[in-house]
C-alpha cells in the first residue's frame, strides 16, 4: 500500500497560547511561526483574529511574513468573526479560515441553545460565508467525540457540501479512548457519502493523557491531518504533542504506513524556543525532547548501550535534534568555537547576536570554570527574552541591574541596598523590609518603579551541574490584572532574581 503523508496542523500559537501562563508577544509569535515553517508544518494556526486587537495583529503579521506553510485563523460561525479572520489573512501566501461550532448535545442544549437542525444550518452558513472569502476552509465540530454519530455524520456531510476542504473531529475535552476514536473516524468514512471530498482531521486534548494515542488511532482509521502543538501545550492538560505524534509515525512506520513533512532534526531546537518564549519548562522526562529522553542511568542499560545503541534506544537522539558535544568551553575559547557550538544547539547566530552572546560568554567565563551547553543555551535564551535576538528591538528605556548589597539572617528582616538603571539614569534604594532576600528585592524594585505589582509565581532551578552552576529564575508578576513573565540567569541567584523581575517590568512597559 502507498505510504500516506499526514498533514501536520500546528496550533501552538492559538490553542497552545491558551495554556495558563503561556501568552506570547508579537515578536515571540513571529519567531515561533518562522521556526514552525522551517520545521515543515503544513498549517500554522496563528491565532483567533476576532479575540482581541493583539490577536488580529499577530495573525496578520504571521500571514504577511511567513511563507511555505498555510496560515490559518480561527473563527466562530459568525459573519463578523469570519470577515475579521479573512482580513487578517489578506496577504497570506496560502490562507485558511478555520470555522468551528459545537455539535454535541451538551453544548447544543446548555451553551448554544440550538436544535440539531439549527446546528446544521449554522455550520453550513458559516462555511458558505467563509468559502466566499477564502478557498481553503476548515470546519471543526467542537466536542465531536461526545456528539451522536448520526448527527455528526449529517454535519460532516453538510459542511463538505457547503465547501469545507478539511473537516476536523476534535476530542475537545480529551474524553475519547483510542479504540473509540478509531471507530468514530471509521464510521464517518463508511457513512458520509462525500467524505472523500475533504481531508479528515483530528484535534485531541490530553485530559486523560491519551491525546497522542487517540490521534494515532484516528490516522489508522483514515484521518489525513493531525492538529498538535509543540511540547503538547494547550488548553488545560494540553493538546496532542507535535514531537510525539511525528516521531511515533516515523518510528512505527511499520504499523502506520504514514509519514509527515516534518524535519525531525529541528524538533529539539523548536521545543527549546517555545519553552523559552512561554516560560513553560519541558519536564526532564518528557518523551522525545526532555533532557532525560535519551539518558541511560542504570548500569545494565549503559552496558547494553555501549555494546549496541539499539539495545535500549528506539530512535537516534540525532534524529530529533539532540547533538552530542563532549567539548566543554571555557575562558580561552574563541568566537568561532562559540558560534559552532550554538549552531550545534540549534541557533544560527548572526554577527550582531554572536557579538552579544560572546560578550556575555566572556563575562560568564570569568565567574565559572566550565561552560556547558546548558549555559550557552541560557545565554542565548536570556538575550531572546530581553528582546535582543532575532532583530527584535530591546526596549530603549528598559530597566537593568547594576548591583546590590544584602544582609540576611534567620528571624531578622533583610537589609538591602539595590542599584538599578533605566537608560542613563541610575536609581538606588535602601530598605529594611521583606520576608526574605527575594521579597526584599521585589519590594525595592516596586518602590523604585512605583508599580503596584505582586508576585504570582516564582521558580528557580540550576542551569547545569556543579556547585558553580548558574541559577535560572522565572517569575510571573501580576499588574492590574495582567500577568507578565520575566526570566533571569546568573551564577548569583539574587542577581538572576533581580534580572527576572526587571525583565517582567520591561515586558509590561513594552505591552502597555
Ligand atoms: O478543542 C477544540 O475543540 C478546539 C476547536 C476550536 C478546534 O480547540
Ligand atoms: Zn482545542
Task: Return the sign of the alpha-carbon dihedral for residues 442, 448, 449, 450.
Answer: positive
Residue ID of nearest Cα to ligand 1 atom 8: 15
| Ligand 1 pocket, residue 227 CB under 6 Å | no
Q: What percent of the chain has pLDDT over 70?
A: 96
Average pLDDT over residues 333-345: 86
Q: Is a pLDDT exceeding 60 seen at residue 392?
A: no
Residue 330 CA, chain-centre distance (Å), reads 32
Contacts of 174 (CB under 8 A, 6+ apart): 204, 205, 206, 207, 208, 210, 211, 236, 237
| Ligand 1 pocket, residue 45 CB under 6 Å | no
Residue 113 vs residue 345, higher pLDDT: 113
Residue 120 vs residue 368, higher pLDDT: 120
Atom of ligand 1 nearest to the CA of 143: 3
Atom of ligand 1 nearest to the CA of 168: 7
CA 311 to ligand 1 centroid distance, Å: 40
Which tens digit of pLDDT belongs to each residue from 413-426? Answer: 999 999 999 988 99
| Ligand 1 pocket, residue 9 CB under 6 Å | no
Report the pLDDT value the prediction gives residue 325, as an integer from 0 to 100.
Answer: 61
For residue 217, list its beta bridge partners: none
Cell numbers at 224, concatenated:
489525513
CA 205 to ligand 2 centroid distance, Å: 6
Average pLDDT over residues 201-228: 98
Atom of ligand 1 nearest to the CA of 15: 8
Which tens digit of pLDDT belongs to each residue from 123-146? Answer: 999 999 999 999 999 999 999 999
Report the pLDDT value the prediction gives residue 85, as an integer from 0 to 100.
Answer: 98
| Ligand 1 pocket, residue 131 CB under 6 Å | no
Half-sphere exposure of 6 (CA within 13 A, CB side): 32
Q: Which residue out of 138, 201, 203, 204 has the highest number of ligand 1 atoms within 8 Å of its CB and is therefore the one to mutate?
A: 203
Residue ID of nearest Cα to ligand 1 atom 7: 140
Report the pLDDT value the prediction gives residue 317, as an integer from 0 to 100.
Answer: 93
425 exposed, middle or buried (CB, 10 Å; 0-12, 13-18, 19+)?
exposed
CA quadruple 390, 346, 245, 261: dihedral, nearest 10: 80
pLDDT category at 390 given cuts 50, 70, 90 is: very low
Atom of ligand 1 nearest to the CA of 14: 8
Report the pLDDT value the prediction gives residue 328, as an integer from 0 to 100.
Answer: 74
CA 202 to ligand 2 centroid distance, Å: 10
pLDDT category at 340 given cuts 50, 70, 90 is: confident
Residue ID of nearest Cα to ligand 1 atom 2: 172
| Ligand 1 pocket, residue 322 CB under 6 Å | no
CA 194 to ligand 2 centroid distance, Å: 26
In terms of pTM, does the model score above 0.75? Answer: yes
Task: Return the sign of the alpha-carbon dihedral for residues 509, 87, 118, 18.
Answer: negative
Residue ID of nearest Cα to ligand 1 atom 1: 172
Cell numbers at 286, concatenated:
518528557
User: Could you count the other beta carbons within 10 Å of the beta carbon of residue 435?
Assistant: 11
pLDDT category at 393 given cuts 50, 70, 90 is: very low
Which tens digit of pLDDT belongs to each residue from 59-100? Answer: 999 999 999 999 999 999 999 999 999 999 999 999 999 999
Q: Is a pLDDT exceeding 50 seen at residue 394?
A: no
The answer to whether the CB of 100 falls within 8 A of the CB of 93 is no
For residue 460, list its beta bridge partners: 473
Report the pLDDT value the prediction gives residue 131, as an integer from 0 to 100.
Answer: 98
Tell me whether strands 471-479 and 482-490 are parallel, antiparallel or unpaired: antiparallel
Report the pLDDT value the prediction gives residue 395, as an integer from 0 to 100.
Answer: 44
Backbone angles phi, psi at 165, to 5 degrees: -95, -20
Residue ID of nearest Cα to ligand 1 atom 5: 142
Which tens digit of pLDDT belongs to each residue from 307-321? Answer: 888 998 899 999 999
User: Could you count the other beta carbons within 10 Å of the beta carbon of residue 380?
Assistant: 25
Q: Which residue out of 16, 49, 102, 140 has the highest number of ligand 1 atoms within 8 Å of its CB and is therefore the one to mutate?
A: 140
| Ligand 1 pocket, residue 142 CB under 6 Å | yes
CA 226 to ligand 1 centroid distance, Å: 12
Mean pLDDT of the chain, nearest integer: 92
pLDDT category at 391 given cuts 50, 70, 90 is: very low
- Give the ligand at the shortest distance from the Cα of 168: 1
CA 142 to ligand 2 centroid distance, Å: 8
CA 232 to ligand 2 centroid distance, Å: 11
Report the pLDDT value the prediction gives residue 297, as an integer from 0 to 100.
Answer: 76
421 exposed, middle or buried (CB, 10 Å; 0-12, 13-18, 19+)?
middle
The listed range with the strongest mean pLDDT (201-210, 286-295, 474-483) is 201-210
Task: Return the sign of the alpha-carbon dihedral for residues 82, 85, 91, 97.
Answer: negative
117 exposed, middle or buried (CB, 10 Å; 0-12, 13-18, 19+)?
exposed
142-166 in b/e burial notation, b at 16+ Cβ within 10 A? Answer: bbbbbbeeebbbbbbbbbbebbbbb
Q: Which of 499, 482, 481 is nearest to 490 (CA)?
A: 499
pLDDT category at 373 given cuts 50, 70, 90 is: confident
Q: Which residues surround ligand 2, an ion (CB under 5 A)?
A: 15
Residue 508 vs residue 261, higher pLDDT: 261
| Ligand 1 pocket, residue 203 CB under 6 Å | yes
Atom of ligand 1 nearest to the CA of 173: 1
Report the pLDDT value the prediction gives residue 341, as an integer from 0 to 100.
Answer: 86
CA 424 to ligand 1 centroid distance, Å: 48
Residue 359 vs residue 343, higher pLDDT: 359
Average pLDDT over residues 11-15: 98
| Ligand 1 pocket, residue 140 CB under 6 Å | yes
Q: Which residue out of 15, 55, 176 has the highest number of ligand 1 atoms within 8 Å of its CB and is therefore the one to mutate?
A: 15
Q: What is the DSSP string of 336-374?
A: HHHHHHHHHTT----HHHHHHHHHHHHHHHHH-S-B-HH
Amino acid at each position: 500500500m502507498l505510504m500516506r503523508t499526514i498533514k501536520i496542523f500546528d496550533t501552538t500559537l492559538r490553542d497552545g497560547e491558551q495554556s495558563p501562563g503561556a501568552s506570547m508577544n508579537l515578536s515571540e509569535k513571529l519567531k515561533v511561526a518562522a521556526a514552525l515553517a522551517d520545521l515543515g508544518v503544513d498549517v500554522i494556526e496563528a491565532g483567533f483574529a476576532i479575540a482581541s486587537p493583539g490577536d488580529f495583529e499577530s495573525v496578520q503579521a504571521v500571514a504577511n511574513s511567513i511563507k511555505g506553510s498555510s496560515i490559518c485563523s480561527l473563527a466562530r460561525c459568525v459573519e463578523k468573526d469570519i470577515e475579521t479572520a479573512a482580513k487578517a489573512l489578506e496577504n497570506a501566501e496560502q490562507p485558511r479560515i478555520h470555522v468551528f461550532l459545537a455539535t454535541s448535545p451538551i453544548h447544543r442544549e446548555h451553551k448554544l441553545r440550538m436544535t440539531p437542525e439549527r446546528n446544521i444550518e449554522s455550520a453550513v452558513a458559516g462555511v458558505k460565508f467563509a468559502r466566499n472569502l477564502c478557498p481553503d476552509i476548515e470546519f471543526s465540530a467542537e466536542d465531536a467525540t461526545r456528539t451522536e454519530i448520526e448527527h455528526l455524520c449529517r454535519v460532516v456531510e453538510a459542511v463538505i457540501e457547503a465547501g469545507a476542504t478539511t473537516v476536523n473531529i476534535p476530542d475537545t475535552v480529551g474524553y475519547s479512548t483510542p479504540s473509540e476514536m478509531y471507530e468514530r473516524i471509521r464510521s464517518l468514512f463508511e457513512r458520509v457519502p462525500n467524505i472523500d471530498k475533504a481531508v479528515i482531521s483530528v484535534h485531541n486534548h490530553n485530559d486523560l493523557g491519551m491525546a497522542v494515542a487517540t490521534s494515532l488511532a484516528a490516522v489508522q482509521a483514515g484521518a489525513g491531518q493531525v492538529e498538535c502543538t509543540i511540547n503538547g501545550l494547550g488548553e488545560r492538560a494540553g493538546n496532542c504533542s507535535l514531537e510525539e505524534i511525528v516521531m511515533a509515525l516515523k518510528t512505527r512506520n511499520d504499523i502506520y504506513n504514514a509519514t509527515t513533512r516534518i524535519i525531525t532534526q529541528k524538533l529539539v531546537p523548536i521545543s527549546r524556543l517555545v519553552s523559552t518564549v512561554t516560560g513553560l519548562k519541558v519536564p526532564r522526562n518528557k518523551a522525545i525532547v526532555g533532557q532525560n529522553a535519551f539518558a541511560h542511568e542504570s548500569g545494565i542499560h549503559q552496558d547494553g548501550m555501549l555494546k549496541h545503541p539499539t539495545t535500549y534506544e528506539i530512535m537516534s537522539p540525532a534524529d530529533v535534534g539532540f547533538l552530542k558535544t563532549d567539548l566543554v568551553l571555557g575562558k580561552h575559547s574563541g568566537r568561532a568555537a562559540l558560534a559552532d557550538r550554538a549552531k550545534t544547539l540549534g541557533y544560527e547566530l548572526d554577527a550582531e547576536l554572536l557579538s552579544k552572546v560572546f560578550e556575555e560568554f566572556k563575562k560568564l567565563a570569568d565567574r565559572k570554570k566550565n561552560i556547558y551547553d546548558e549555559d550557552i543555551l541560557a545565554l542565548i535564551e536570556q538575550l531572546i527574552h530581553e528582546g535582543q535576538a532575532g532583530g527584535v528591538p530591546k526596549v530603549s528605556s528598559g530597566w537593568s541591574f547594576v548591583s546590590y548589597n544584602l544582609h540576611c539572617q534567620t528571624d531578622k528582616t533583610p537589609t538591602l541596598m539595590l542599584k538599578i538603571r533605566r537608560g542613563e539614569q541610575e536609581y538606588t534604594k535602601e530598605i529594611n523590609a521583606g520576608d526574605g532576600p527575594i521579597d526584599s528585592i521585589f519590594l525595592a524594585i516596586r518602590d523604585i518603579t512605583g508599580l503596584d505589582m505582586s508576585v504570582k509565581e516564582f521558580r528557580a532551578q540550576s542551569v547545569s551541574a556543579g556547585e558553580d552552576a548558574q541559577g535560572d529564575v522565572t517569575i510571573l508578576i501580576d499588574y492590574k490584572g495582567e500577568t507578565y513573565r520575566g526570566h533571569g540567569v546568573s551564577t548569583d541567584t539574587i542577581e538572576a532574581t533581580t534580572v527576572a523581575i526587571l525583565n517582567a517590568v520591561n515586558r509590561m512597559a513594552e505591552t502597555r
